[in-house]
Structure 1
């Protein structure tokens, strides 16, 4: 590879780059090539590490004291890691000026050029980065994550742990960020039947937009964190404005595709609310959405086509099926079962993402409730095995939504037939109780950022039906063996029906069996043998809590008699 030194800067020829419509503001500001080269060389000499978790996600805090490693490492070590690079990227140099730096003699400058080109958020730079994937020269070391309690303070600051990093590593990180967003999980070269960059770029090189390119920009705008810092909202709104340039119905399809990348509870007006997306989708009509579910969307975007790489059809389908009663015609209910089978066959052939059986079933049931209960009941056997009970919970939630109180005996019997899932929380029982017995919403702080969930009781007839359901669960003879996760969820709901909590949220979450829930529910006998006193104390407390729940029933269901 040809290298150059700043002595030859005057002879550099600008490299014309034509890119997509939606580019970063970096295109707007010309700069002196000599000043730019000086800045890159100075930054290369100043910083000591290059952390992909920062530059990939644009995570450069203005206050370095907010960073976790400050308790472990000297303050200068943190500052040098962030501020010089942040300053360099803020200059927003022209793409045509940055590309020649990929051939600089200093591997650190080449690495910084990769980072600066990636920060333009212009996918047209990717073909220029791919050749550097084979560059094996060492560059800045990469900081390693360190696990220790947040309150731990070492006796003295320690050297920051790092691992070696090559220019090729940096280039691969930049290109892989785009590839992964498009469902290409095997890097630039690919692997066997899994294609790499050549396949990716051949299908996208002439496009002005792709769903996965918006996904890259949204990930960087949100920093892939939740809650999202309030100062990122302008960046998020800028991504939304870019999406709004896409014509319908593709615009709404893209927004659905990115719905899972927009954290629940964050500032809604920065991107789109769930309700607003439903309203927008209603204007398009059921026929289009059925074509999307048939994996034939009205779009030429390769990210929206059915293939081994497709990752966006699944969140789109999830959104449509979740809101089936708003967006789909009831006459299509039975077709959803056939489409589900088509998805499964395509998935086995590597031409579609995996299936989501329970979502198709619950959507069909809600579209035709007169048949829905029987469809749901006949489907439980599909998920009667380990790791699938949460799907049964989704069937039960749908059944409660459709039939309510009339199916209480069936649902309570299902509830107690479930084993305790040792490795998951919320378990399937808790998931059911959370969904049907109360409402939840995020409470925002003074900056408009979500901080905690508020629980709200259901009102009117729905609230009375829930009380009957909860009372039936509590009075069932099997209640005396109910796991502590489910007891906790019952208390959270029952507390809403009292002026003063029966047991505080803090105490509810403090109760845990010896060795933790996973070990306890996996082998109670072994835990009891090792920790007999603690096990006895846990069970006694849980028994007292169950008694408290039983005695509370007449308080919130006066007509009820034990």
Structure 2
């Protein structure tokens, strides 16, 4: 059976109107049996949310079944039918009946193992996602589905998750006309599982009015607050129940005493069962609007309940005391966003009195585990609050020396804050891109009458580009590239645990082997004709003979399990950054023992890189902007490098040991003294998120992914690009430089030739000399 795009169900207003006329008469058992035999599959998520199918499928028979009326007693009887497909149709009709009591019959099939209509996956089938022009002529991919699994989805949509006895749960709910959970279930159907209904607002408002006709005011009010909580995640001010001002008026009508009772123990005044529903739904809206809803005399009660920000909003004179108390109490790493919101409130409520304190806090965030996320929350919350005296506070943020290191995304948030609160466009929206961070900062400085900072750019080389000398496909995702000291062999490590050795002259594969385990091969070096490999599982180190390719030995290192690591060229040290806050570790490879470990927060995809002579290594966490410079023999950092505005991702030491160049998730390219960590220079790249950087053998220049499918060779003193190497692919994952050119691994996901390629560029008129690595 084929499906056709033009058979998608149409929408009218906010109600799913069937494209198939229901016809006359009511459905019978014989009708369901017949229809069960012709319905090929069901998009259950769409059916349960009462919306047209997200896939271009032929579901005419199903829509006909759901549109036609049927006696309630008949539907309940057919949930026990011998055919699981008939049972499913009866259950779907009960679910769509609009009768809460129908869920008693639905629940009886929650353990039903019967195989029913196949399900179209929630995120779509390959037919709908494929770029193949023949996709529309293929059946969608489906998954086997059991009756009980769909029933549990139905029950979850009305708030029953199977963690309590059903009778105990249903007794106070299914016969209760004030049960908020039922109205929230119907609201989700009206909204078709989406938060935003802007395009269908009028029709949806009518549907909500019909749903709540003759219900008490309290039902509408408590529903409105919960609904507003959902929309605050978008955010969206206008709701199905009115504007923000309308909802505030509802809260005032309920009165502060009723609202305090709700915040205390979930009691919702005016309902038949005031403690029946989720005690958290609606709290966010009420607390964010506390100063319009509560009285000054309510502030101590709010503070006693732990709602420090709301208490400060209601009594601003106590804001300094209560919000500092909040930050002391919210001291866990996971509460960084709460602290950020408290600080935004403090700056709003106390302005000049607390400005220095808040700005100092803001620029100390880079040393906290919450990293830049808390900064974004602070800016967004301050923007939401829209203080009258915002200008001087934001000017102080811009004037601070830490502003130059502000995350690019947060810089954009701050620009939008200035545009909105100032009522004029200081930074055009079209310019609000991460790669424009330096220009945005200078525009903000200019707006506040502050001096700008000169922008030094690395510009693409204007001469002819150098094309690859050869290119060979790589079949799997790769993690590392190494070149032997004599320049004869290239080794490529794949995430599968396979290591391949190539002839460096022409790229041909001369051998391969598989090491223990599967996973990322994060670092290795070739030394004395042998390849040292950090195995992808546990604290294992393998030695591979290169010519011919042969696995010589695998030994276990004493100490903690390894994560991301680097090995010095002489095979003396291994340095590792390990997740789950294990920290930084160094192994003495000669004694196969852990030399030291320094506990540090290590998460995500940061970086670690070692100098050729093994005298230094640089490492960063994946969630902040700091780089730690270590000597392998000492667990105390030589220096902590501050200069990046986003997470550092790659670092390269010069072969002579003088320089360190770092790049990250922003446009900056920074040069450091590799011995002391002193900042020496910096440039702005043509693209952000540079994936790789590598020094030339003479230490006078470095190679950098420059954007536009080019690798730039950049002079280390002037920042001028002297060569441009072109490639075809998505990114550069690693590079190795030699005197007469460069080797690189290029990622090309989706390529017909494999995952990517190993590429060689050769410069004319140069003799091959020992490589940089």
Query: Which of 105, 108, 111 is the aligned partner of 1:131?
Result: 108
CA contact (8 A) 1:130 1:171 kept: yes
Shift in Å at residue 537 of structure 1? Answer: 7.4
- Take 2:666 and 2:109, find their aligned partners in 1: how far apart are those partners? 62
Between the two structures, name the one with larger relative contact order (CA 8 Å, sep ≥ 6): 1
Q: Which residue of 1 aligns with 2:285?
A: 319
Q: Which residue of 2 aligns with 1:345?
A: none
1:173 and 2:97 correspond: no
1:255-274 alignment, distance < 5 Å: 255-262=224-231, 268=238, 270-274=240-244
Structure 2 residue matching 1:164: 3-state secondary structure: coil
1:322-401 alignment, distance < 5 Å: 322-338=288-304, 340=305, 357=306, 360-401=307-348
Shift in Å at residue 212 of structure 1? Answer: 0.1
Structure 2 residue matching 1:121: 3-state secondary structure: coil
* C-alpha distance 147-102 of structure 1, shift in aligned 2 (>3 A): closer
Tell me the TM-score normalised to structure 2 length: 0.51
Q: Which residue of 2 aligns with 1:550?
A: none
Q: Which residue of 1 aligns with 2:180?
A: 211
Q: Which residue of 2 aligns with 1:153?
A: 131
* C-alpha distance 437-58 of structure 1, shift in aligned 2 (>3 A): closer
Q: Which residue of 1 aligns with 2:263?
A: 293
1:414 and 2:515 correspond: no
Cα deviation per residue 1:242-263 (whole Å; 9 max; x = unaligned)? 3352224444223223332457
Shift in Å at residue 486 of structure 1? Answer: 2.2
CA contact (8 A) 2:371 2:623 kept: no
CA contact (8 A) 2:187 2:208 kept: yes
- Take 2:125 and 2:370, find their aligned partners in 1: how far apart are those partners? 22
Query: Which of 570, 589, 605 is the aligned partner of 1:519?
Result: 605
Structure 1: which 5+ residue stretches go unaligned?
1-23, 62-66, 70-77, 341-356, 440-457, 546-562
Shift in Å at residue 216 of structure 1? Answer: 0.4
Q: Which residue of 1 aligns with 2:482?
A: none
Structure 2: which 5+ residue stretches go unaligned?
1-15, 438-478, 480-602, 607-621, 628-647, 654-660, 671-681, 686-773
Cα deviation per residue 1:394-423 (whole Å; 9 max; x = unaligned)? 111221231123321111111112137888
- Take 1:277 and 1:150, find their aligned partners in 2: how far apart are those partners? 41
| Greater helix share, structure number | 1
- Take 1:504 and 1:416, find their aligned partners in 2: how far apart are those partners? 26
Shift in Å at residue 265 of structure 1? Answer: 6.1
- Take 1:215 and 1:325, find their aligned partners in 2: how far apart are those partners? 27
Q: Which residue of 2 aligns with 1:74?
A: none
CA contact (8 A) 2:312 2:319 kept: yes
CA contact (8 A) 1:98 1:113 kept: yes
Shift in Å at residue 337 of structure 1? Answer: 3.0
Q: Which residue of 2 aligns with 1:486?
A: 410
Shift in Å at residue 533 of structure 1? Answer: 7.5
CA contact (8 A) 1:138 1:164 kept: yes
CA contact (8 A) 2:75 2:90 kept: yes
- Take 2:31 and 2:665, find their aligned partners in 1: how far apart are those partners? 67
CA contact (8 A) 2:408 2:666 kept: no
Shift in Å at residue 147 of structure 1? Answer: 8.2
Query: Which of 349, 359, 367 is the aligned partner of 1:402?
Result: 349
**The structure with more radius of gyration:** 2
Tell me the TM-score normalised to structure 1 length: 0.69
- Take 1:329 and 1:45, find their aligned partners in 2: how far apart are those partners? 64
Query: Which of 415, 433, 456 is the aligned partner of 2:379?
Result: 433
Cα deviation per residue 1:67-99 (whole Å; 9 max; x = unaligned)? 4x5xxxxxxxx432x332223222243423422
CA RMSD of aligned residues (A): 3.9
- Take 1:95 and 1:140, find their aligned partners in 2: how far apart are those partners? 22
* C-alpha distance 278-528 of structure 1, shift in aligned 2 (>3 A): same
1:538 and 2:667 correspond: yes
- Take 1:93 and 1:218, find their aligned partners in 2: how far apart are those partners? 24
- Take 1:140 and 1:518, find their aligned partners in 2: how far apart are those partners? 41
